[in-house]
Amino acid sequence: MRLIFLGAPGAGKGTQAEKISEYLNIPTISTGNIIREALKSGTEMGLKAKSYMDAGNLVPDEIVIGIIQERLAKPDCQEGFILDGFPRTIPQAEALDRMGIIIDRVIDLDVADEVITQRVSGRRVCEACGNSYHIAYKKPNVDGVCDACGGTLVQRKDDQPDTVLERLRVYHEQTEPLKGYYEKQGKLISVKGQNEVAETTALVKAAIEA
């Protein structure tokens, strides 16, 4: 199964992708995580991406398209995958189509802007492995410490309030049109994000199996 998870920043794409990834036993590919990794290891691509990311803007299409092309060529993607955070613009979606990759379904996680700002401001991520937590809704067992690897939890620079507003603006302007793009292809399924992660997961599973 080849899936795309669409939705605003902080709509819960990453969390849901992780669940469905385990459920279907296919990898999740998060362009955001790949870029943050590249940044951490100081590669040229990471350095190029940093200024865009910190400001809440999208990284240029040619960079992320290159990342995805390379990643999808790896053997673990042959049986399917979940794309979390790609495509985010029409040209990115067109590039995916041109690569000849047939997407089965596009799950749009629908969450109101007010809820997004609240969620994202409380988000904390593991410095070491990238796992995501929330100070109120998804607490780690020990404050400030990653359950999975013991790493330190930090706030992403782009999760600070001003940057979140900019990311939402960019989402509505550049990413939301993808709903129409995939609706035309008959692949779009909209899922209303619930307060409980497990409730949303149940809806996503139903959408995939429908």
- Which residue among 10, 38, 178, 182 contacts ligand ADP (CB under 6 A)? 10
Which DSSP helix (H) or strand (E) runs through 28?
strand 28-30
| Residue span binding Zn ion (CB under 5 A) among the ranges 22-30, 56-64, 131-139, 198-206 | 131-139
**How many residues interact with ligand ADP (rule CB under 6 A)?**
20
Contacts of ligand ADP in 133-192 (CB under 6 A):
158, 167
CA atoms 152, 121, 142, 193: torsion sign: negative
Cα angle vertex 106, ends 87, 94, to 5°? 40
Tokens coding 163: 């940057």
Whether the CB-CB separation of 52 and 58 falls below 8 Å is answered with yes
- Per-residue binding letters, 47-86, with Zn ion (x by CB under 5 A): ----------------------------------------
By beta-carbon proximity to ligand ADP, the closer residue of 89 and 201 is 89
- Which residue among 17, 38, 58, 126 contacts ligand ADP (CB under 6 A)? 58
Tokens coding 4: 């795309």
**Strands across the sheet containing 81-84:** 28-30, 81-84, 2-7, 105-110, 188-192
Contacts of ligand ADP in 72-111 (CB under 6 A):
85-88, 92
Cα angle vertex 86, ends 84, 88, to 5°? 125
Among ligand ADP, Zn ion, none, the one that 167 touches (CB under a kind-dependent 5 to 8 A) is ligand ADP
Tokens coding 18: 């992780």
By beta-carbon proximity to ligand ADP, the closer residue of 93 and 208 is 93
Tokens coding 147: 């359950």
- Which residue among 67, 120, 126, 204 contacts Zn ion (CB under 5 A)? 126
Residues that bind Zn ion (CB under 5 A): 126, 128-129, 131, 146, 148-149, 151
